[in-house]
Amino acid sequence: MKKNLFAISTLVGTLIATQVLAASGDACLQRNRLQSWKAVDESTMVMTDIQQNRYTVQMKGRCSNLARPAAVLVYRTWQNLSCLQSGDIIAVTAPGLGAVTCSVAGVQAGVPGATASK
């Protein structure tokens, strides 16, 4: 009985901690959960995970190939189970153009402008 109570308490604590982190603006998008992405402009993209959660990814400076049609992302430092974070390197290629190396400035839960309506 004590083992079941401990397991349930641990599970509830984990769920509450996860919700508190999500509410505080910390975002954890794991590579193995990434479903799609879309460029907003040359320094911002919105990524969507398999649960349809959306994340705004801001790049350090301009990433020239990011907004081009048929652009492809190549993840240089983002590992499968790690969260995308500031400093991760992403190469962006587009048909007929060379690869451009870009660095992530930050990741936030939600889409651009969504936090302004609170």
pLDDT digits (tens, 9 = 90+) for 9-31: 655 454 444 444 444 456 899 99
Kindly state whether residue 73 falls inside one of the protein's structural domains.
yes
Kindly state whether residue 84 falls inside one of the protein's structural domains.
yes
Q: What is the pTM of this model?
A: 0.72
Kindly state whether residue 15 falls inside one of the protein's structural domains.
no
Tell me how far apart the alpha carbons of residues 83 and 61 are, in angstroms, rounded to a whole number.
Answer: 21
Kindly state whether residue 62 falls inside one of the protein's structural domains.
yes
Range of the domain at 104: 27-111
Kindly state whether residue 46 falls inside one of the protein's structural domains.
yes
Q: What pLDDT, on the 0 to 100 scale, is given for residue 45? A: 97
Q: Under a CB-based contact definition with an 8 Å cutoff, are residues 101 and 88 in contact?
A: no
- More confident: 77 or 115: 77
pLDDT digits (tens, 9 = 90+) for 28-69: 999 999 999 999 999 999 999 999 999 999 999 999 999 999
Kindly state whether residue 12 falls inside one of the protein's structural domains.
no
Q: Where do we find the tokens 């509450």?
A: 16
pLDDT digits (tens, 9 = 90+) for 64-106: 999 999 999 999 888 888 999 999 999 999 999 989 999 999 9
Domain total for the chain? 1
Kindly state whether residue 2 falls inside one of the protein's structural domains.
no
